[in-house]
């Protein structure tokens, strides 16, 4: 019997919980420990899992094969990935697009010296969507490509509406514009403005006596976040918010509409429809954790992205089985 891949989780928010659940779905893996900046004792009582303060990670160098980093891209990962890559293979979902080149360079330098493999910026976008953009562009070099997100909860936009005066609670959904998708699927290649691609739906619980007209105006006219979109604001009760809007659904589509040969229209589309954004992202991270360990065992080191890793490394099945069953 092969030994299990021993996984550590760093950070136990929604994503970290999703990783714990995803590990349980993969028979070749086990959760070794959770690392947190909070009080490890109280978290251990909640989770029933060995829980350590993040500062104790260095004691696990021989006990963990890969660390899955579940912190945020703003402040957690820029610090944690390079730090942990000195000791462990790592996987993260760093998604601050403009900073990816610098992040890659820093993590790569660290991992090369340490002899570890660090898979950066995986998940579904960046991640599976990026892979499909590359694949579709390579196959259809003449064409137009579109990414649509949603229908799904945008955490950033939801945070912003909660800070509007008079708003008690709220959630924001990013919704792809159906007409735009239909037109591309029908073979057109429109130039689309921001407003023509997505709209924004806000569900808001107002404080008692608040001016709802003013709340609506403040939201729909807000620069950067809402002004460039068709935005709707619906006022609902706290009960309805809890009942109908407590999930974290998301999804989207990458579509490329290309032309080959004598003008043949060729359309490729990859789409996701997710009940739980963090659980799905976590499932992607776990598949790449397997790849990181296997790559490292074969002698590879350095930072890797989804573009660098053969798909076969994601699967617990042998190359022979994959050829027989899936090709």
Quote the least distance from Cβ 265 to a second copy, whole Å.
5
Residue from 126, 152, 176, 302 in contact with a second copy (CB under 8 A): 126
Q: Pick between residue 68 and residue 164 the one whose CB is nearest to a second copy.
A: 68
Structure tokens at 68: 């899955």
Q: Does residue 280 touch a second copy according to CB under 8 A?
A: yes
Residue 262 interacts with a second copy (CB under 8 A): yes or no: yes
Q: Exposure pattern of 291-313 as b/e (b: 16+ CB <10 Å)?
A: bbbbbbeeebbbbbbbeebeeeb
320: contact with a second copy by CB under 8 A? yes
Write out the DSSP string of 113-126. Answer: HHT-EEE-S-SBTT
Q: Does 61 bind a second copy (CB under 8 A)?
A: no
Under the criterion CB under 8 A, does residue 130 sit at the interface with a second copy? yes
Determine phi and psi for 303, rounding to 5 degrees: -80, 140
Q: What is the closest distance, in whole angstroms, from the C-beta atom of residue 223 to a second copy in the complex?
A: 27
Stretch that binds a second copy, among 34-42, 46-54, 207-215, 259-267 (CB under 8 A): 259-267
Shortest CB 176 distance to a second copy, Å: 15
Instruction: Provide the mask over 136-155, with x wherever binding to a second copy is found by CB under 8 A and - wherever it is not.
Output: -xxxxxx-------------
Q: Which stretch binds a second copy (CB under 8 A): 19-27, 66-74, 209-217, 231-239?
A: 19-27
Cβ proximity to a second copy: between 153 and 206 the closer is: 153
Of 30, 144, 228, 279, which lies in the binding site for a second copy, with binding defined by CB under 8 A?
279
Contacts 24+ apart (CB under 8 A), 32-41: 32/6, 32/7, 32/8, 32/60, 32/63, 32/64, 33/8, 33/9, 33/60, 33/63, 33/64, 34/8, 34/9, 35/8, 35/9, 35/10, 35/11, 35/67, 36/10, 36/11, 36/12, 37/11, 38/12
* Candidate ranges 49-57, 80-88, 196-204, 256-264; the one touching a second copy (CB under 8 A): 256-264
Please pick, from the candidates 11, 18, 170, 176, the single residue that binds a second copy as defined by CB under 8 A.
18
Check if the beta carbon of residue 280 is closer than 8 Å to that of residue 272.
yes
Full DSSP string of 67-112? EEE-S-TTTHHHHHHHHHHTTSEEE-----GGGHHHHHHHHHHHHH
In whole angstroms, give the CA distance from residue 257 to residue 145.
6
Burial class (CB in 10 A: 0-12, 13-18, 19+), 174: buried
Choose between 142 and 224: whose C-beta lies nearer to a second copy. 142
User: Looking at beta carbons only, is 84 or 255 nearer to a second copy?
Assistant: 255
Among 110, 118, 121, 172, binds a second copy (CB under 8 A): 121
What is the DSSP secondary structure assignment for residue 55, as one 8-state letter? G
Comparing CB distances to a second copy, the nearer of 190 and 316 is: 316
Half-sphere exposure of residue 278: CA atoms within 13 angstroms, side-chain side = 17
**CA 123, CA 108: separation in Å to the nearest integer?**
19
CA 237 to chain centroid, in Å, comes to 30
Q: How far is the CB of 4 from a second copy (least distance, A)?
A: 15
327 interacts with a second copy by CB under 8 A: yes
The footprint of a second copy on residues 282-311 (CB under 8 A) is 282-284, 287, 290, 305-311
Give the interface with a second copy as residue ranges (CB under 8 A).
17-18, 21-22, 25-26, 97, 100-101, 104, 121, 126, 128, 130-135, 137-142, 185, 260-262, 264-276, 279-280, 282-284, 287, 290, 305-312, 314-316, 319-320, 322-324, 326-327
């Amino acid at each position: 019997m092969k030994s299990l891949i021993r996984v550590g989780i760093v950070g136990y928010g929604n994503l970290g919980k999703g990783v714990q659940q995803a590990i349980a779905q993969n028979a070749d893996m086990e959760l070794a420990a959770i690392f947190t900046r909070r009080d490890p004792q109280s978290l251990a009582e909640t989770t029933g899992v060995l829980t350590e303060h993040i500062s104790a990670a260095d004691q696990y160098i021989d006990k963990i094969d890969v660390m899955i980093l579940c912190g945020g891209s703003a402040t957690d990962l820029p610090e944690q990935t390079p730090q942990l890559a000195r000791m462990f293979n790592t996987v993260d979902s760093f998604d601050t697009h403009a900073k990816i080149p610098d992040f890659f360079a820093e993590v790569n330098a660290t991992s090369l010296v340490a002899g570890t493999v660090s898979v950066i910026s995986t998940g579904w976008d960046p991640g599976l969507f990026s892979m499909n953009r590359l694949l579709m562009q390579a196959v259809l070099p003449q064409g137009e490509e579109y990414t649509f997100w949603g229908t799904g909860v945008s955490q950033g936009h939801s945070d912003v509406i909660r800070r509007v005066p008079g708003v008690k609670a709220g959630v924001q959904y990013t919704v792809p514009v159906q007409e735009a998708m239909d037109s591309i699927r029908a073979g057109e290649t429109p130039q689309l403005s921001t407003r023509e691609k997505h709209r924004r739906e806000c569900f808001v619980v107002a404080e008692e006596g608040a001016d709802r007209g003013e709340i609506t105006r403040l939201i729909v006219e807000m620069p950067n976040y809402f002004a460039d979109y068709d935005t709707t604001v619906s006022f609902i009760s706290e009960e309805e918010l809890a009942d109908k809007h407590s999930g974290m659904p998301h999804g989207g589509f990458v579509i490329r509409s290309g032309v080959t040969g004598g003008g043949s229209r060729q359309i490729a589309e990859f789409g996701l429809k997710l009940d739980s954004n963090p659980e799905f992202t976590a499932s992607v991270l776990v598949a790449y954790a397997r790849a990181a360990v296997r790559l490292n065992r074969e002698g590879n080191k350095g930072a890797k992205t989804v573009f660098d890793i053969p798909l076969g490394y994601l699967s617990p099945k042998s190359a022979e089985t994959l050829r027989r069953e899936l090709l």
